Amino acid sequence: MSEENIINRIAEICQLISHYNHQYYVLDEPTVPDVEYDRLMRELTALETEYPQFKTLDSPSQKVGGEALKAFSQVVHQLPMLSLDNVFSAQEWQAFVKRLKDRLKSSLDFAICAEPKLDGLAVSLRYENGVFVQAATRGDGTVGENITENVRTIKSIPLRLQGTNFPDVLEVRGEVFMPKSSFEALNQQAIKKGEKGFANPRNAAAGSLRQLDSKITAKRNLAFYAYGIGFVGASQDGNGIDENWLADSHYQRLCQIKSLGLPMCPEVKLLENATEVEAFYQDILQQRENLSYEIDGTVFKVDDIALQQKLGFVARAPRWATAYKFPAQEELTVLEAVDFQVGRTGAITPVARLKPIFVGGVTVSNATLHNQDEIDRLGIKIKDTVIIRRAGDVIPQIVSVVVERRPADAEVITFPSVCPVCESAVMKAEGEAVLRCTGGLYCQAQRKEAIKHFASRKALDVDGLGDKLVEQLVDEGLIKTPADLFKLTTLDVSTMARMGAKSADNLIKGLESAKNTTLAKFVYALGIREVGETTASNLAQYFHTFSAIKSANEEQLQQVPDVGVIVAKNIVNFFAQDHNVEVVEELEAIMSWPDIEVKSDDELPLKDQTFVLTGTLSKMGRNEAKAALQALGAKVSGSVSAKTHYLVAGEKAGSKLVKAQDLGISVLTEDEMIALLNS
């Protein structure tokens, strides 16, 4: 590489890092993941080490963060607040230890204070005569922002130290962070209000600390863990160090801080020597997803303060400490295309096809985009550079778009107008974000679930046909639709794995028996979205014939009890698909059910009465009781409301009974219900 190229590359990296520093530390709006920042910083450090003549005084390698926000007053740190260098592997850690021993001119091992690397915002807390007087951000390491009023709102930070054994001036340094539970609650509130949520807990914590109104900060439920001590001294001269108070061990100093009432991370541990580091690292990595706070690595510090002082500092970090980072959970990559998958319930999900990237320990090439609302929220287009995140075993997700890298030929993501599997029409119900295929009985993607539902106990109740057998029949190509079930022969089934002649014969007999059903069960078995048992029964009782149900329009369907606008649309759309009609007509030719006897009002004494069944009914059973009530015109609901007329309470009745009593609804025992039916 020529000198000109080296100078240009260093200048380019410096400009990028300065830009990202401003976004990260000043605006709290980072556009690239930490791993990209770390990569650039390491490249810059390597170039400046190899070519020191090109290192400039304003290089980001000489700085810690960004300048203080003008909205806050400034605080000059009496001792600089430095950041940490990083290692990314066991080999790099061993090289770090070797450098320490070389500098100390000793082969002796030393104790290590081990801590999780909290993903929050570094702050300095100043106590004078035991009273909290000031809090500041790290800022550029020399000058930070005065965030005293906001930090006062953090419940875990005491406004007065415990006991009496402390220096006149004590500066405690640590991390303000937002617990995972608080972060999730904050984002849920933002979504409800139609506002944009935070990308991660670190951004949420930083944004909360930089609120000009401390009342807002107080509502954010921030937390704090101390990780060290800054300036310690007498309040008068401002320079003296109280040597009698300070422990000579970093770990013991943390314990001193804890004894004064400041929280210390419970996972902090004192290791006997550097060889125990890898085990601690792996242990914290395993715990990571279960911790109540976000971390992105571990921190290891030489425990002996005398050794720390001997090792000293470089421009931006102490030589005696380093962060051992976890494999990146976030990375940059490019959205190359979007495919659309059809789920077992017909939900059409956009799947991002990414330029393969190694993140979170695996190579990721796909990520779900969920639905149109999520695409709109991200503002994402095909060919965009995106931040991809993978935490533990969690499915990879796109966190955000790096808009400044969007190419001129970026393409809008367009959802299909028909199902990409069966070409049936698609629809999105009012109030839902998910687009769905309407070809339920025909669509290959929904095939197994449609047949399982068709044969289920509450539908046709086909004896001998369980879910696993349905999957086997579909996988072996013996059935494609519910109608194909009735074309099976004993020979077809008996030749399958783990199916003997007797089991095959029982299945065929079960299918033969299932041909005789009721209109309500047949309608329910079709699996029309949101048409459950009660709605299917209401449709049968209202229209009396299947042909009338098929040909009904939305307005007519909405005259049926419990059928609203959405259910009516689902029914009309189902029968509007030629594929569904083809399968339904096959089934009509095979199956039969008795005509529905039209009863007079005199024969329906419970008409317009709503019943709810709860608890265990020992004499009739829930299904028998429901059928008996419906035969007399009653409506049987699953939930108690002000419109409920009677609650039938069996043994061990629970919350429904309590609610019915609160609403003043008549409560019947099982015996009283039977007496009512008999009368």
For residue 339 the two structure tokens come to 């495919």
According to DSSP, the β-strands at 121-128 and 131-137 are: antiparallel
CB 588 within 8 A of CB 616: no
For residue 598 the two structure tokens come to 């039209």
CA distance 559 to 537: 14
List the catalytic residue out of 63, 117, 521, 656: 117
Contacts of 650 (CB under 8 A, 6+ apart): 613, 614, 615, 616, 617, 618, 670
Tokens 């005293």 belong to which residue?
A: 148
CA angle 122, 139, 218 (to 5 degrees): 55
CB 198 within 8 A of CB 246: no
DSSP tally for the chain: helices H, then strands E: 24, 22
For residue 423 the two structure tokens come to 């070409």
For residue 184 the two structure tokens come to 């999730």
Query: Which CA distances in Å does 133 have to 45, 127, 137?
Result: 38, 6, 14
Residue 564 is classified by DSSP as: -
Active site residue 448: no
Handedness of CA 59, 61, 62, 63 (dihedral sign): positive
CA distance 540 to 440: 21
Query: Which CA distances in Å does 626 have to 101, 460, 613, 630?
Result: 81, 18, 8, 6
Three-class HEC string of 78-115? CCCCCCCCEECCHHHHHHHHHHHHHHHCCCCCCCEEEE
The strand pairing partners of 292, in sequence order, are none
Using left for φ > 0, alpha for ψ between -120 and 50, and beta otherwise, residue 379 falls in left
CA angle 107, 110, 116 (to 5 degrees): 135
CA distance 611 to 633: 11
**Could you tell me how far CA 450 lies from the centroid of its own chain?**
29
The full DSSP string for 648-672 is EE-BT--HHHHHHHHHT-EEE-HHH
Residues annotated as catalytic are: 117
